[in-house]
Structure 1
Amino acid sequence: MRRCATASTPHAVGGWRARFVEHRIAGLGDMPRPGGPRTVTDGQVVELVARTPERTSKDATHWSTRSVAGETGLSQSTVSRIWRAFGLRPHRAETFELSTDPYLVDKVHDVVGLYLDPPERALVFCVDEKSRIQALDRAQPVLPMVPGVPQRMTAGYVPHGTTTLFAALEVATGKVIGSLHRRRRAEEFEKFLLRLGTEVPEGTDVHLVLDNYATHKTPSIKTWLVAHPRFHLHFTPAGSSWLNLVERWFAELTNKQIRRGVHKFVQALEADIRGWIATWSTDPKPYVWTEAADEILARLAGYLKRIPDSGHWLGRPRRDACGSAAYIR
């Protein structure tokens, strides 16, 4: 009866009613269709789906439709259709990193808690440095795009120095406060913190999400924090840059400004970066975090169960239950 309810024309409804009157319930099932008989059996489909992730080609690290077709006797188009139906993509491989931070569980709860439930009368910033941004000039002139031909540039380039961007992404609004320096030391980080303090109204606490780089933990920085008690640092787990939202903004900056930029000197590169930050901040777009910490850690545990020899990670006390691995990005 479901098919009758979803039919869109009186003719179709009449056809289903006639089949029901003639064959009763059996008439509502699939009837023989026109065309040639089916040539691929369910067993062949099951065998192909099992073979793809469990075995590899004899002469390659992964399967291709041609190599599978040669071993199974199926056509390449049939293999391709089955792979699409079951979401199998042997030609693709993604990377991940497992954290060894023993406090991963606590840090994930701390940082995600700031994103989902920020403290009152406080601002949350994601802070990091994009170091050694190169001012690159192409070895030969760039050929502009014309109809039918994309922009072309030489693979060779001429370096003209580097700069480092210190950036703080305000989680609530997406506004970015940036500062450019030629080096990445505790001195530059302290200057950036002073700059950040001038941008935040007095009486407002400042919570910073940042990584475990040594510059963020030097004695001078610890002394500075004691003198500025409204600043609070929250460290992401080691090897878990995916947890810092400013990394997503860095990707935007790289893709839209730096990667295809041509700069004959560092000052030109820095001017373009400052201009891009100013343009972004006129209409900032916040990145909204939606996944709870427990959901992240539960997904991690599911991944670990699929990794051979990962049982010793899951068998530790609660703090270390996921402490030897970070969420797979």
Structure 2
Amino acid sequence: MDGPTCILLQGKDSSRTRAMVTLLHGNEPSGAIALHRYLRNGCRPAVNVVCVVASVGAALEPPLFSHRMLPRARDLNRCFRPPFDDAQGVLAEEILEILRLHAPEAVVDMHNTSGTGPAFGVCTFMDRHHEALVSLFTQRLIISSLGLGALMEISEETCPTVTVEVGGRLDEEAHALAYEGLCRFFEAPEVLSPGDTDWGLELLQDPIRLELKDNVTLTYADAPCDNYDITLRPDIEHHNFGGVSTDTLLGWARAEAQQLFTAQDAGGRCAVSRLVRVSDGRLYPAQPLKLFMITNNAAIAHSDCLFYAVADDGSTICA
């Protein structure tokens, strides 16, 4: 491939179509690896499948599969709403047009997590169709209405669409899960639940993102670093999907939390004080929480967020 690529697989039932989108981020290879393996095996899916491999240029930039996006480019998975007025926006609009033309009955957008951690699915609202899709890959589902311009947000207007994060980008287990789930999605006669089935999913409701304020500096180390505003513990990603208490040390900070971080709940209210606190220069959770999508990559922390959080029982964090 020398650029974004669309592959159409002819299914046994050509009257229906599903869609898989992957490599929206060039450093998340599991979906592309799984698709390549499927094509090499010569399998035939149950229905037609449209496969979109998006950020090929970023993925091919040396070293291979290490760049989320090219320098100065927007995050492609924040571009699926207007305006489509730059190269990433044009590509996002083209992907949306491909999906519109083929009218799939379901869409899976496959990703890797920024750090190591277990697999999970994300959708904008819960119903039996979204649950059924996610259950092909994992037993953990996040319901998020943040409205960031992600591909999964088209679910509200078109067809059931989910994001699946299969695990860390360097983890062989993530590559294996991506392939196994892809096979189920491609080859199952039905992927949308016809009735009220209990899939037994762990549900996490309306997470809040903790982000850095502009010009705040961040690093990862075992002790506070004088030249940085925030130092996070290098093993912080081990808390992914685990509960953290108010005495769990996350790192160190050289100012009060509200000076360093930004966070908004679904109502647009500042939520920093509900997520973290600083005591004697040490950074702790403000209440018992469950954290996920924690990154130990400072570049991703600056361009995206540090982590997502819900209450420790998986419910929405209340004001």
TM-score range, shorter chain: under 0.3
Q: Which structure shows the higher helix fraction?
A: 1
Q: Which structure shows the higher strand fraction?
A: 2
Q: TM-score, normalised by structure 1?
A: 0.21
Q: TM-score, normalised by structure 2?
A: 0.22
For the pair shown, the structure with the greater C-alpha radius of gyration is 1
